[in-house]
Structure 1
Amino acid sequence: MLPEDPRWRQLLADPEAAATLLADAAARAEFVAAAAALQAEHDDLVMLHDSTLEHANEIEEQLAVKIEQVEALVVELELRNAFIRQVFGRHVTDEVVNTLLASPEGRQLGGERRTLTILISDLRGFSTLCEGLGPEQVVAILNIYLGAMADVIGEYRGSINEFIGDAILAVFGAPVPQEDHPERAVACAIAMQRAMGRVNAELAEHGLPALEMGIGVHTGEVVVGNIGSNRRAKYGVVGRHVNLTSRIESYTVGGQVLISGSAAEALGDRLRTRGSFEVRPKGVREPITIHDVTGVDGPFAIHMAEETSQWRALAEPQRLSFTALEGKDTGGQENPAVLVAYDDLHNAELHVTTVVPLRSDLKLVLAALPGVDAYAKVVASTAGRVVVRFTALPRALTELLEGLPLRA
């Protein structure tokens, strides 16, 4: 090789010596052969360089395409996650959303059996209350009410499964498992009832009517997971225990929290109640025990606000007729009664001539207000006397009662 032979380097540095040496034919032939070998190697290196450069350009182009694809996927992922946070994040805590986003299998269709605690709340007499309001007012009421309740549920790390009109279905113990889900749910229910004071204060500021809410809580095994199709799915719970929770809630009056025996058993001696009663809900084979909750001790210590009321005895008792309800329908037979007193908590005392079972749902029509239906639940019953709690109190009836003279 020319550069490695010291003779050639000397010749390149000394032209006169080069002329003398190259005058020799053999030396000249050797020099030409060395130069030809160097040229061939140079050509190989140039070819390798060009090939490497061309391949590098192809790799760079392919890499640029991949980078664009990855960037597009990142943008799509960020948009999807932002959408999930915006929509799903309205109903659950940030912890739940982060868990679901970090777990790919959590977004697949399918479910699993899991024991958790279900909470269902419902406003009392909301349909009747809305009859005299415009749609804007109804929406304003719901936004104030549901917004406040969602905040409370989030504080206790519950997951809002659905808003069903004015009803709320929330679960505790899913998607993120919680060992203390029964206690969280019951404490949350009490906190929701306590929050109704703030809700009604805000409604009053906007000239809107006050609300009352009943809550049922039950612990049981359900199927929980992503339910639906690949085009449309939601995270939800299904099973008979969801229906049973709804049945328990149906026994409530405004301001009340009723829970099942399974939820009460999970809380043990931390639970505080007014007592319990046995019922046989529709679709349930065996009677169940329901507890009327007043408070929870322990880590989630919270208790219902004290309620005081003043009874007002009417100077002139009001004649009325009532009909027992079976589900959404009336039982058919009308019975006479007399309204003799009422209080601040929408309770009323009636004198009756028939036996009225405890916790019966009634439709009442006062003789002074024909065509105006009121609805109530029997909360106390003795021979000839019942106490009912109005669940739907029309404005006309409220105005009539407030205008009646009272007994001294």
Structure 2
Amino acid sequence: MAHPITKNQQDLCSALRSSAELIIRHASELIRLFTDNQQREHKEDAERILEAGRDLDVFVTDMQELLQKGESFAPLRHDIRNTVGLVSGYAEILEDEVAHQPKSLAELRAIQKATGRFLSSLDELSALVSDEEQASSVDELISTLSTTARSRTEATLGRKVLLVDDNDSNRELVGLQLNRLGIEVAEARTGHEALSALAAKSIDLVLLDLMLPDINGYDLLKRIKRDKNWRHLAIIIISGVKDEQSALRCLEAGASDYIVKPVNATLLRARVTALLERKVWEDKESAYLSNLEASYDFIRKVFGRYLSNDVMQRLLYDGDGLTLGGERREVTILLADIRSFSVISQQLSPEDCVRLLNNYFAVMTDIIMSYQGTVDEFIGDGILAIFGAPLSDALHSDHAVACALAMQQAMPHVNEYNVASGLPAIDIGIGINTGPVVVGNVGSELRTKYGVVGHHVNIASRIESCTVGGQVLASADTLAKMQATPHWRKTLEVNVKGSTEPLQIYDLTGIGVPFDIILPERDVPMEFLAEPVALSVRLMQGERLSQSVGVGYVIALNGRELLLELDLSLSALEEVQLMLPDEGEDSLAYARVMGVDEASRYHVTLTSSVGRLRNLLEQRLSRKS
């Protein structure tokens, strides 16, 4: 049966609808602002306000229908207040977060103003229809709860909340409110039950009453926050004490919020939802960071075989790690090369060749990194290492020299593996130079490498080309920058491509404190042959052989060191090809001129330890003995 609505009731319903429409309009504008500013989280909160505003508009229609039937709208009032609380709660949260955005803040304040008018109009309408009954008892209040869940979100569905309260009615009421949000509720009546529940279940949020029969809530809060497994938990304190100091103590102890009884359902819902939403994002962030760390671990494992840790750190963590370009910096460059590797590689299968190189590179790379060097690249059988980049190092020259000496010290260990594996023993020569170069990312957008370029890199390469096996040659520039004391066997002056003046280089044998590295002495007396052994000698001109062939005689030897009488005139550090005429190409070997004595005899060092020459000469020496 229809019941006429009075003019005052109609005016108040119109005011309610007008307030709901204002909430909808300002929420829609808020969504537009957040969309333009790409503020996704804020937009989602604004969408919740919009949804609640539309629910309020529906509630106004429902109230009008009830009034027309002459029925009370008391059962609706609780849901209406909860919905108004959603609007107010989310608007309050957003106000704190967008305080620096005037337009958004203005829309939120307009929403709060409209919400206040809505509540005021609702209270007037309630008074007007003499519907002032308040659900004072817990049972009465529970009976008014709507069974329709309007506010379930990803943040609340399936989440687990631990409700700690010794009052059964309070637990039932709050539990129902949380269930409406799709939350699974675990209950505890005492502090010890709460601790047991935390140990047994995965909990997302704790609602904690301060008054418990065994452990007071404040002490329980501190115990939870001291535990490394639970300290991340959000905890809302529910207290019957309206005291600012109590609230402050709880917040300082780690509580996320403090609510005074009687608990406003709308406020509780808003606070719980907000904290669970934060938990959702924290879980997503944690999962994202775990996946990111797993990706970084994969990158480090894969590319750590090609790049030093320093370069990887720069690529992975620096904002400009992949930006093309470089900077000018003083560094020390180390170049190491296996002597006569082209000859060695021709006599090995591809698999054995790679096995030999992998063992050598593994040992050398560890040594280089231990002296703060960066392996820039492997160039065939060569190693290019940088000291002083990408991380600055005031002792880059000292570290490079100490590293080179340590690399030579490690060669017996490398050769032990080679011999045990059926591979040939190898020797390396190392050249070092110091000077300003350009370091940085070079290449294209598709293929980039961290590298070093410049004149002093070329000089380091020229110095390395002058070495023989077991030797470390360093420029005067490198020694001038060192703080530790270097030791050398002799100095040499050589003309190298790229330098207008003769280059002074040092044949290093050791370095003083704090490194204290000394190479074994190589000056062992020669053993003379009973009869000189004739050799054909051809001068190497770069990568080419001279057309003219000279004749020489080996008169003494010691391992790789030969003493020759020649009909050619040679200079120090020139490279020659040697061959026994009666043995042919099987006896080919290469040697570098180390000097000439007072009797015009040449001291040469074999740079290749393969072929039959060395063995044949040693056999003739043994026949003499």
TM-score, normalised to structure 2's length? 0.55
Residue 417 of structure 2 aligns with which residue?
Answer: 202
Unaligned runs of 5+ in 2: 1-67, 91-148, 158-276
Distance in structure 1 (CA, Å) of the matches to 2:73 and 2:479: 96
Which is worse superposed, 266-275 or 46-55?
46-55
Partner of 2:492: 277
In 2: Cα distance, 1:305 partner to 1:272 partner = 12
Q: Deviations over 1:290-316 (max 9, x none)?
A: 111111112222121233645332223
Paired letter, 2:412: G
Deviation digits for residues 350-369 of structure 1, max 9, x if unmatched? 11123211111111222122
Pick one of 578, 589, 594 that aligns with 1:379. 594
Give, in whole Å, the separation in 2 of the partners of 1:83 and 1:240: 36
Alignment match of 1:347 (pick from 553, 558, 561): 561
38 and 278 in structure 1: CA distance in 2 versus 1, 3 angstrom threshold: same
Q: Give, in angstroms, the shift of residue 132 of structure 1.
A: 2.4
Change over 3 Å in CA distance of 1:156–1:243 after alignment to 2: same
1:22 paired residue number: none
Structure 1 counterpart of 2:619: 403
- CA distance in 1: counterparts of 2:335 and 2:79, whole angstroms: 84
Q: CA deviation at 1:37?
A: 7.9
**Is contact 2:484–2:513 with CA below 8 Å preserved after alignment?**
no
Encode CA deviations 1:221-277: one digit per residue, 9 max, x unaligned: 111112223332221111121111110001111111001111010125711111212
Match of 2:437 among 222, 244, 255: 222
| 1:166 equivalent in alignment to 2:381 | yes
Q: Secondary structure at the match of 1:367?
A: coil
Mapped to 1, the partners of 2:324 and 2:340 lie a distance apart of 37
Matched, 1:131 2:346: yes
Q: Which moved more, 1:356-365 or 1:82-91?
A: 82-91
Structure whose residues are more often strand by fraction: 1
Shift in Å at residue 381 of structure 1? Answer: 1.8
Higher mean alpha-carbon deviation, 255-264 vs 265-274, is at 265-274
Change (3 A) 1:40 1:156: closer
CA distance in 2, matches of 1:233, 1:54: 54
Aligned to 1:18: none
Alignment of 1:238-249 (within 5 A): 238-249=453-464
Report the equivalent of 2:604.
Answer: 388
> What amino acid is aligned across from residue 370 of structure 1 in structure 2?
G
Unaligned runs of 5+ in 1: 1-31
Structure 2 matches for 1:280-299, cutoff 5 A? 280-299=495-514
Q: State how far apart, in whole Å, the 1-side matches of 2:398 and 2:592 are.
A: 28
2:547 matched to which residue of 1? 332
CA–CA distance in 2 between the matches of 1:40 and 1:203? Answer: 88
Mapped to 2, the partners of 1:389 and 1:284 lie a distance apart of 26
- Residues of 1 paired with 2:572 and 2:76: CA distance? 110
CA–CA separation in structure 1 for the residues paired with 2:484 and 2:452? 29
Deviates more, 1:367-376 or 1:101-110: 101-110
Q: Amino acid of the residue matched to residue 57 of structure 1?
A: T
- CA distance, structure 2, for counterparts of residue 236 and residue 87 of structure 1: 19
User: Which residue in 1 is equivalent to 2:399?
Assistant: 184
Q: Secondary structure at the match of 1:104?
A: coil
**Structure 1 residue 57 corresponds to structure 2 residue 159:** no
Q: Distance in 2 between matches of 1:198 and 1:46?
A: 78
2:304 aligned residue (78, 86, 89): 89
In structure 2, distance between residues paired with 1:93 and 1:130:
27
> Where does residue 272 of structure 2 map in the other structure?
none
Question: Which amino acid in structure 2 is aligned with residue 289 of structure 1?
Answer: Q
For the pair 1:45 / 2:259, whether they are aligned, the reply is no
Aligned to 2:47: none
- Report what 2:475 is aligned to: 260
Q: CA RMSD in A?
A: 3.3
| 1:362 lines up with 2:458 in the alignment | no
Is the deviation greater in 362-371 or in 306-315? 306-315
Give the percent of matched residue pairs that are identical in Structure 1 and Structure 2.
Answer: 39
Q: d(CA) in 1 for partners of 2:552 and 2:523?
A: 26
Give the direction of change, closer, same or farther, for the CA distance of 1:66–1:39 in structure 2 (3 Å limit): closer
- Listed one character per residue, the Cα deviations across residues 98-149 of structure 1 (whole Å, up to 9, x for unaligned) are 4653322234332111111110000111221233222222222112211111
Counterpart CA distance in 2 for 1:60 and 1:223 is 56
- In the alignment, what sits opposite 1:211? 426
Aligned residue identity for 2:607: T
Structure 1 residues 80, 243: CA separation in 2 closer, same or farther (over 3 Å shift)? farther
Query: What is the rounded CA distance, in whole Å, between the counterparts of 2:311 and 2:591 in structure 1?
Result: 39
| 1:108 pairs with one of 312, 323, 327 | 323
Question: Does the 8 A contact of 1:91 with 1:150 survive in 2?
Answer: no
C-alpha distance in 1, partners of 2:444/2:285? 27
Alpha carbons of structure 1 residues 247 and 45: separation in structure 2 relative to 1, 3 Å: same
Cα pair distance change 1:76/1:332, threshold 3 Å:
farther
One-letter identity of the residue aligned with 2:153 = N
* Shift in Å, 1:44: 4.3
Gap change, CA 1:66 and 1:230, over 3 Å in 2? farther
> How far did 1:49 drift?
7.0
User: CA–CA distance in 2 between the matches of 1:47 and 1:371?
Assistant: 97
- Does the 8 Å contact 2:155/2:280 carry over to 1? no
> TM (normalized to structure 1)?
0.82
**Counterparts in 2 of 1:392 and 1:59: CA distance versus 1, 3 Å:** same
Alignment of 1:297-316 (within 5 A): 297-307=512-522, 309=524, 311-316=526-531
Deviations 1:328-359 (A, max 9, x none): 11232211111222212x01111112321111
- Kept in 2, the 8 Å contact 1:92–1:157? The answer is no
Could you tell me how far apart the structure 2 residues matched to 1:289 and 1:308 are?
22
Tell me which structure has the larger Cα radius of gyration.
2
